[in-house]
A and B are shown apart, each in its own frame.
Chain A
Amino acid sequence: METFISDIQKMSTEDGPGIRTTVFFKGCNLKCIWCHNPENIPFYRQKYWLKDRCIGCFTCRDVCPNGAISFHEDGLVFDEKLCVFCLVCADSCPANAIEVKGQSISVQELIKELLKDKAYYEVSGGGVTLSGGEPVLHWEYIEPLVQELKRQGVHVALDTAGNYPYHILQKLLPYIDLVLYDIKAVDSEKHKEMTGLENTQILQNAKRLGAQSSVEVWIRTPIIPGYTDESKNIEAIGKFLKQNMPDITKWELLSFNNLCAHKYRLLGKEWALKDAELISRSKMEQLCKTARKYVKSAIWSGATKAEV
Chain B
Amino acid sequence: MKKIKEPKNLTPRIKWLRDYYFQGVERPWNNEYKVFTTGLPHDEVYNEIDYYIVPETYNFFNTFQYGLKQIGKKIETPKDFYKKSIAERRAFFLKEAMTKHVPLDILPGDLLCGANFNLFISHCHTKKEAAMRSKILYGKGGLRERTIEFHDRGFGNCGATSGHLIPDYPTILKYGFKHIIEQIDNKYKSLSAIERRGSKGAQLRAMRTAAEIPVELAQRYSQRLSELAEKEENAKRKKELLTMSENLKVVPYNGAQDFWQAVQSLWLTHMLVMSDENYPGPGVSFGRLDQYLYPYYEISVKQGMTREFMKEILECMWVHCNTAYDAQIKVGSNQGITAGFGQLFMISGMGENGEDLTNDLSYLLLEVIDDMSPILEPKPNIRLHRNSPHKLLEKIADMIAESQGAPFLLNFDERSMAGLLRQARKCGLEEYINEKNVWNYAAVGCLENTMTGNDRSGTVDINLNLFKAVELTLARGGDLIEYKDQIWGKPYKQKRHSADTGDSAKFESFEEFYAAFEKHVKFIVENIARLYNESDYVRAVFHPTPYLSCLVKGCIDKALDITQGGAELRFVTVEGVTFATTVDSLLAIKYLVYDKKICSMQELIEALKNNWEGYEKLQAIAKYKAPKYGRDDDAADEMAEKVMKLWAEETWKYKTIMTDAQLRPGMLSWNYWISDGFILPASPDGRKKGQFLSNAICPSNGADTKGPTSNINSVGKALGSRKPDGDYLDYVNYLPNGASHTITLSPSLLRDREHKQKFIALLRGYVENGGTALQINSLDVDTLIDAQKNPSEYRHLLVRVTGYNAYFTSIGRELQNEIINREIHNKY
Residues on A lying within 8 angstroms of B by beta carbon are: 9-11, 13, 18-19, 53, 55, 57, 59, 94-96, 116-117, 119-120, 123-126, 305-306
Tell me the B747-794 residues at the A interface (CB within 8 Å).
747-749, 751, 755, 757-758, 761-762, 764-765, 768-769
Contact A59 B708 (CB under 8 A): no
- For A116, give its contact among B708, B710, B761 (CB under 8 Å): B710
> Is B616's CB under 8 angstroms from A18's CB?
no
- Whether A306 lies near B748 (C-beta < 8 A) is yes
Which residues of the other chain, A, contact B707 by a CB distance below 8 angstroms? 9-11
A-B contact pairs, 14 of them (CB 8 A): A10-B709, A11-B707, A11-B708, A19-B709, A19-B758, A57-B620, A94-B625, A96-B624, A120-B769, A123-B761, A123-B768, A124-B764, A306-B747, A306-B748
A305 to B748, CA, bound (A): 10
* Known A11-B708, A305-B751; contact A120-B620, beta-carbon cutoff 8 A: no
Q: Is the CB of A59 within 8 A of B761?
A: no
* A119 with B620, Cβ < 8 A, contacts A10-B710, A306-B751 known: no
CA gap between A117 and B632 in the complex, in Å? 10
Besides the known contacts A10-B707, A11-B710, A57-B620, 11 further A-B residue pairs in the complex with CB atoms under 8 A apart:
A11-B708, A18-B758, A19-B709, A96-B625, A116-B632, A117-B765, A119-B768, A123-B764, A124-B764, A306-B747, A306-B751
Which of B621, B747, B765, B769 is close to A124, meaning CB atoms less than 8 Å apart? Answer: B765
Q: Please tell me if the beta carbons of A123 and B765 are within 8 angstroms of each other in the complex.
A: yes
Is there an interface contact between A124 and B758, defined as CB atoms closer than 8 Å? yes
Once bound together, how far apart are the Cα atoms of A55 and B768, in whole Å? Answer: 41
- Please give, as numbers and ranges, the residues of chain B lying within 8 Å of A10 by CB-CB distance: 632, 706-707, 709-710
Tell me whether B617 is interfacial, beta carbon within 8 Å. yes
CA distance A119 to B763 in the complex (A): 11
Most chain A beta-carbon neighbours within 10 Å: one of B749, B761, B762:
B761
**B587 → A minimal CB distance (Å):** 16
Q: Does B713 contact A (CB under 8 A)?
A: yes
Q: A19-B762, A96-B624, A96-B625 are in contact. Are A120 and B616 (CB under 8 A)?
A: no
A95 close to B624 (CB less than 8 A): yes
Please tell me if the beta carbons of A94 and B709 are within 8 angstroms of each other in the complex: no
Whole-angstrom CA separation of A19 from B621 in the bound complex = 33
- B632: chain A residues at CB < 8 Å are 10, 116
A152 to chain B, nearest CB (A): 16
B769:A119 contact, CB within 8 angstroms: yes
Instruction: Determine how close the nearest CB of chain A comes to the CB of B397; give it in whole angstroms.
Output: 13
Q: How far is B707's CA from A9's CA once the two chains are assembled, in angstroms?
A: 8
User: A145–B298 Cα gap in the complex (Å)?
Assistant: 56
**CB-CB nearest in chain A for B619:** A94
CB of B305, distance to nearest CB on chain A (Å): 39
**Bound Cα distance from A116 to B768, whole angstroms:** 12
**A120 with B761: CB separation less than 8 A:** yes
Q: Tell me, in angstroms, the Cα distance from A123 to B768 when the chains sit together.
A: 9
Q: How far is the CA of A126 from the CA of B758 in the complex (A)?
A: 9
Q: How far is the CB of B32 from chain A (nearest CB, A)?
A: 46
From B708, B709, B748, B764, residue with most partner A Cβ within 10 Å: B709
Q: Which 4 A-B pairs have the closest CB atoms?
A: A124-B761, A94-B620, A120-B765, A123-B764
Alpha-carbon distance between A55 and B621 when the two chains are bound, in angstroms: 11
Minimum C-beta distance from B731 to chain A (A)? 13
Per the bound structure, the CA–CA distance linking A126 and B713 in Å amounts to 17
Whole-angstrom CA separation of A205 from B624 in the bound complex: 45
Bound Cα distance A116, B709 (Å): 9
By a CB distance below 8 angstroms, the chain A residues around B757 are: 124
Residue among A13, A55, A96, A120 making CB contact with B755, cutoff 8 Å: A13
Distance, CA A18 to CA B760, complexed state (A) = 10
* CB of B776, distance to nearest CB on chain A (Å): 14
Find out whether the CB atom of B617 lies under 8 angstroms from the CB atom of A117: no
Kindly identify which residue among B618, B621, B749 contacts A13, using a CB–CB cutoff of 8 Å: B749
Distance of B532 from chain A, by nearest CB (Å): 39
Which of A9, A55, A96, A120 is B762 in contact with, Cβ under 8 Å?
A120
Q: Give every chain A residue within 8 A of B749 (Cβ-Cβ).
A: 13
How far is the CB of B762 from the nearest CB of chain A, in Å?
A: 6
Separation of A282 and B438 alpha carbons in the complex (Å): 55
Write out the residue numbers on chain B whose beta carbons fall within 8 Å of the beta carbon of A123. 761, 764-765, 768
Q: Which residue, A19, A57, A126, has most C-beta atoms of chain B within 10 A?
A: A19
B759 CB, min distance to chain A CBs, angstroms? 9
Q: Which residues of B lie under 8 Å from residue A11 when comparing CB positions?
A: 707-710, 762
CB distance from A76 to the nearest CB of B (A): 16
Considering the complex, give the chain B residue whose CB is closest to the CB of A57: B617
Distance of A53 Cα from B624 Cα, bound (Å): 10
The CA-CA distance from A54 to B265 in the complex, in Å, is 64
Task: Give the chain A neighbours of B747 by CB distance below 8 A.
Answer: 306
List of B residues within 8 angstroms of A53 by Cβ: 624
CB–CB B761/A18 < 8 A:
yes
> Would you call A94 and B617 a contact (CB within 8 A)?
yes
Interface residues of B in 471-508 (CB under 8 A from A): none
Q: How far is the CA of A306 from the CA of B752 in the complex (A)?
A: 10
Given contacts A55-B617, A94-B621, whether A124 and B713 have CB atoms under 8 Å apart is no
| Chain B 715-763 interface residues, beta-carbon cutoff 8 Å to A | 747-749, 751, 755, 757-758, 761-762
Complex: how many Å from CA A53 to CA B77?
A: 71
Task: Report the bound CA distance from A90 to B76 in whole Å.
Answer: 79
Q: Which residues of A contact B709 (CB under 8 A)?
A: 10-11, 19, 116-117, 120
Name the CB-closest residue of A to B616. A55
Would B765 and A119 count as touching, CB distance under 8 A? yes
| Chain B residues within 8 Å of A9, by CB | 707
Q: Is the CB of A57 within 8 A of B708?
A: no
Contact B761 A126 (CB under 8 A): yes
Which residues of A sit under 8 angstroms from B762, Cβ to Cβ?
11, 19, 120, 124
Measured CB to CB, the nearest residue on chain B to A117 is B709
Chain A residue nearest to B748 in the complex (CB): A306
CB distance from B717 to the nearest CB of A (A): 10
Cα of A10 to Cα of B620 in the assembled complex, Å: 26
**B769: nearest chain-A partner, CB-CB:** A119
Interface string of B620-643 (1 = CB under 8 A from A): 110111000000100000000000
With A120-B761, A120-B762, A306-B748 as known contacts, state yes or no: A94 contacts B710, CB within 8 Å: no
State the Cβ distance, A262 to closest chain B Cβ, in Å.
Answer: 12
Write the nearest CB–CB distance from B698 to chain A, whole angstroms.
Answer: 17
Of A57, A95, A125, most buried by chain B (CB within 10 Å of CB) is A95
CA distance A117 to B747 in the complex (A): 22
- The minimal Cβ–Cβ distance linking B771 to chain A, given in whole angstroms, is 14
Q: With A94-B625, A116-B710, A116-B713 in contact, is A59–B765 under 8 Å at CB?
A: no
Q: How far is the CB of B637 from chain A (nearest CB, A)?
A: 11
Q: Which residue of B lies closest to A125 (CB)?
A: B761
Residue of B nearest to A14 (CB): B755
Contacts of B616 in A (CB 8 A): 55, 57
Task: Give the chain B neighbours of A119 by CB distance below 8 A.
Answer: 765, 768-769
* C-alpha spacing A124/B749, complex, angstroms: 14
Q: How far is the CB of B821 from chain A (nearest CB, A)?
A: 15
Interface-central residue, B706, B762, B765, by most chain A CB under 10 Å:
B765
Task: Please give me the residue from chain A that is nearest to B621 by CB atom.
Answer: A94
| Residue of chain B at shortest CB distance from A299 | B754
A59 neighbours in B (Cβ, 8 Å):
617
